[in-house]
Structure 1
Amino acid sequence: MTKKDRPTPINEEINIPNNEILISVTNPKGIITEVNDIFIKISGYREDELIGVSHNIIRHPDMPKIMFKIVWNHIMDKENVMAVVKNLAKDGRYYWVVTDFVTRVDADNNIINYTAYRRPVHDEVKQVVIPLYRALCAIEDVAGIKASEKFLNDYFEDRGTNYDDMVEEIIVKNYDKGTDLGLGRNPKEAIKEMSKEKKQSFFNKLFGVK
């Protein structure tokens, strides 16, 4: 889909039920091969309009390019990564999701496909990422993606964190109470103390990854 063919964004949000998980699968080139029913419903496209086309069909212009570069760098290295994303529906409305991107490989460690598991995002989370994304988009419009990457690196360095840790913290904030996650009264510290394998298992269960 070219920019000319994209829907014109409108300032109206689609609310996703809290218990829903939107799933899509793409081949290694980013072409959609599978979608679940709730993904179809929220995106507004028919299944035949989604299968066989590039996943950027739902990319919203408010999303900075650097965020997708980070995601692609992870999944091409066969690493799972999570991101908070604003997507564009067929009718121009938008919807926010926190997404767990999973790379699947064959017995020879060749990439088979990428699967995205999406859950709805609470308003508190949007308040964290919207100003950051606006700043990154503004920088990209003027100076390009390298400048936005430097800004983002400086942003993390100033806060003593990194992209992965920021998203993990955002996911915890995505719930009204940390105890809903089974992590006790201090979920941030509980996640920090997990091993990499245990942490991935925890988030896989949270996102319904099979």
Structure 2
Amino acid sequence: MARTVRPSGVEAMLGEEELIVSKTDLKGRITYANDVFIRMAKYSYRELMGAPHSLIRHPDMPRCVFKLLWDTLETRHEIFAYVVNLAKDGSHYWVFAHVTPTLDDQGNIVGYHSNRRRPDRGPIERISPIYKALSAEEARHANARDGMRASFDMMVGLLDKQGVGYDEFVLSL
């Protein structure tokens, strides 16, 4: 599924009471997608199964937020984040995501589970300029890894300046 989707600028809205649910394996490949996810992402069930969850990554979404997500999940903790996703037709949709590791009886991570709901507009308006600045920092670097590290440091600096942790920051938006 190596195809490039170009953002159209058209925003799709998740229903007020709808919930997107997906599960992935340890490598982030989709193992389950509910009907709402399939509809919003505009991929078929067959296209989604086994595909990397990054398939719906919007290019305006800073990579450093996903680094934070994966770093947090590796510690067996949950994380909340505002995320803009890109559908197969180029439309985008915002979600408030809650991602948790799935543990076996011995406490080993065996996969990941994510529930996403429609966010309020206020937090999106507040997080968008921050994401834009983080993405611009990433783009300033020729090497993607260096860019991601620089934007991650920028995000940590923002949190330190406000004297809050990431969870507190996200929930305060």
TM-score range, shorter chain: over 0.9
Structure with greater helix share of residues? 1
Give the letter aligned to residue 139 of structure 1.
E
Moved over 2 A (4+): none
Q: 1:155 aligns with which of 147, 153, 158?
A: 158
What residue number does 2:149 align with?
A: 146
Task: Give how far 1:6 is off.
Answer: 2.3
Alignment of 1:93-172 (within 5 A): 93-143=91-141, 144-170=147-173
Task: Give how far 1:151 is off.
Answer: 1.2
Alignment of 1:28-47 (within 5 A): 28-47=26-45
What residue number does 2:75 align with?
A: 77
In the aligned structure 2, how far is the partner of 1:113 from the partner of 1:149?
Answer: 24
Q: 1:91 aligns with which of 89, 92, 99?
A: 89
Indicate the SS of the match to 1:102: strand
In the aligned structure 1, how far is the partner of 2:165 from the partner of 2:4?
Answer: 32
Q: Deviations over 1:126-184 (max 9, x none)?
A: 111000000000001113122112211111121111211111223xxxxxxxxxxxxxx
Between the aligned residues of both structures, percent identity stands at 35
TM-score by length of 1: 0.78
In the aligned structure 2, how far is the partner of 1:80 from the partner of 1:153?
Answer: 18
What residue number does 1:186 align with?
A: none
TM-score by length of 2: 0.94
Q: 2:22 aligns with which of 17, 21, 24?
A: 24
In the aligned structure 2, how far is the partner of 1:27 from the partner of 1:153?
Answer: 28
Root-mean-square deviation (CA, aligned residues, Å) is 1.0
Give the letter aligned to residue 159 of structure 2.
F
Indicate the SS of the match to 2:8: coil
Moved more, 146-155 or 95-104: 146-155
In the aligned structure 2, how far is the partner of 1:139 from the partner of 1:147?
Answer: 7
Aligned residues: 168
Q: Is the 8 A contact 1:6 1:57 kept in 2?
A: no
Question: Highest CA radius of gyration, 1 or 2?
Answer: 1
